[in-house]
């Protein structure tokens, strides 16, 4: 099998889908790994390291993108300039977040691409193994970028998260106690903030009670609870995820208008459309914007800010699935692994993921109809 690894083109996206370890593993299975020169530089992986592991380097993205019957791997969903490189029969294995991206959904359908989304591969336990590590990274980053945005020079309230003697600590409210929310709570608590974690899942709140020795306020989420705590917050972190579906809008424009001037909102769920009404995707080059008197940070590829960590974490998670796709072909690999089958989003011009179909009012077929 030929596995193509183009260089990422999204704004300030420095990750790459394949480390030298991943290259060596695939080559040892008899596959060809084609990597665009320079693809790993942002993650501090040189061309020589990739080549030394057995990769074949090419000088242009067209040569790195695969064709019919081949697998192509990118970190972030293809953007407009890459659409023409997607071809019928290509297997695309990447983060897609299609519920928030109708243009890409339509392109995948039109070009009859077999698209397998990292973020909807789901184990029987309900966990998302290919999203887990990036959710950890985004969760850890959220309080850090939020703390920076709280500085007066950045448009924030001029509040130090941990406070000092005689001055109250900043109040951080995190909506969603999943992987990213728990990691955000951990970092915010480590920065000595006053942390409140909201979720409708009481089991997750019980886990946070023991994990943080009751130092994080774990509260059952409701519309009223969100309203009460968001209006009191210096920083709000949105960390709500419904696998494959658009994120629910939990913080309205009206609620933001009643927040403290200079408060900061960080939306980790931006890839799925965001859980704030006023969320719109931003970039690392221009990460924030104002809504009323509050600062919104909505960078759609937050883990790209720490690419060395993110790249190795991502390859650790994706490599077993990549090997299966290459060894068996996409169809047999998905037949053999129901968790991987849940990642199938489009095939032969049809949507194969129900939440994506619902988000765009497009009829979706069951993956079993494709897999037989």
The CA angle 269-42-133, to the nearest 5 degrees, is 40
Phi, psi torsion values for 114, nearest 5 degrees = -85, 105
Q: 164: Cβ–Cβ under 8 A, 6 or more apart, which residues?
A: none
Distances (CA, A) of 189 to 99, 170, 174, 205, 297: 32, 11, 11, 15, 20
97 is catalytic: yes
Q: What is the DSSP letter of 299?
A: B
Output phi, psi for 236, to 5 deg: -120, 130
What is the C-alpha to C-alpha distance for residues 282 and 208, in angstroms, rounded to an integer? 30
68 is catalytic: no
Pick the catalytic residue: 229, 271, 347, 360? 271
Which residues, listed in sequence order, are joined to residue 217 by a DSSP beta bridge? 196
Give me the catalytic one of 97, 217, 347, 360. Answer: 97
DSSP string of 106-152?
A: HHHHHTT-EEEEGGG---TTS--TTTHHHHHHHHHHHHHHHHHHTSG
**Burial level of 277, CB count in 10 A (0-12/13-18/19+)?**
middle
Residues with active-site annotation: 97, 271
């Amino acid at each position: 099998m030929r596995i193509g690894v183009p260089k990422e083109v999204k704004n300030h996206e420095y990750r790459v889908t394949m480390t030298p370890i991943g290259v060596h593993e695939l080559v040892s299975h008899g596959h060809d790994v084609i990597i665009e020169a320079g693809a790993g530089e942002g993650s501090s992986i040189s061309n020589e390291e990739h080549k030394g592991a057995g990769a074949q380097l090419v000088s242009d993205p067209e040569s790195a993108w695969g064709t019919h019957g081949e697998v192509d791997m990118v970190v972030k969903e293809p953007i407009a300039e890459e659409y023409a490189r997607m071809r019928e029969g290509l297997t695309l294995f990447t983060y897609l977040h299609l519920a928030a991206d109708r243009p890409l959904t339509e392109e995948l359908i039109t070009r009859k691409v077999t698209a397998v989304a990292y973020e909807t591969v789901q184990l029987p336990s309900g966990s998302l193994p290919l999203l887990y590590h990036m959710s950890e990274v985004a969760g850890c980053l959220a309080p850090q970028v939020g703390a920076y945005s709280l500085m007066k020079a950045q448009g924030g309230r001029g509040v130090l998260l941990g406070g000092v003697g005689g001055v109250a600590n900043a109040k951080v409210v995190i909506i969603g106690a999943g992987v990213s929310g728990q990691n955000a709570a951990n970092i915010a608590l480590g920065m000595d903030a006053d942390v409140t974690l909201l979720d409708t899942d009481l089991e997750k709140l019980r886990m946070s009670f023991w994990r943080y020795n009751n130092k994080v306020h774990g509260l059952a989420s409701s519309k009223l609870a969100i309203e009460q705590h968001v209006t009191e917050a210096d920083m709000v972190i949105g960390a709500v995820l419904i696998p494959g579906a658009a994120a629910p809008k939990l913080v309205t424009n009206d609620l933001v208008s009643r927040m403290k001037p200079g408060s900061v909102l960080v939306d980790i769920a931006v890839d799925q459309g965001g859980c704030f009404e006023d969320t719109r995707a931003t970039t690392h080059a221009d990460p924030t914007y104002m809504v009323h008197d509050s600062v919104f940070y909505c960078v759609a590829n937050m883990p790209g800010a720490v690419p060395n960590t993110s790249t190795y974490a991502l390859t650790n998670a994706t490599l077993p699935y990549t090997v299966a796709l290459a060894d068996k072909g996409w169809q047999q690999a998905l037949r053999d692994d129901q968790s991987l089958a849940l990642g199938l989003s489009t095939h032969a011009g049809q949507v194969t993921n129900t939440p994506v179909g619902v988000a765009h009012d497009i009829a979706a077929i069951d993956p079993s109809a494709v897999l037989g």
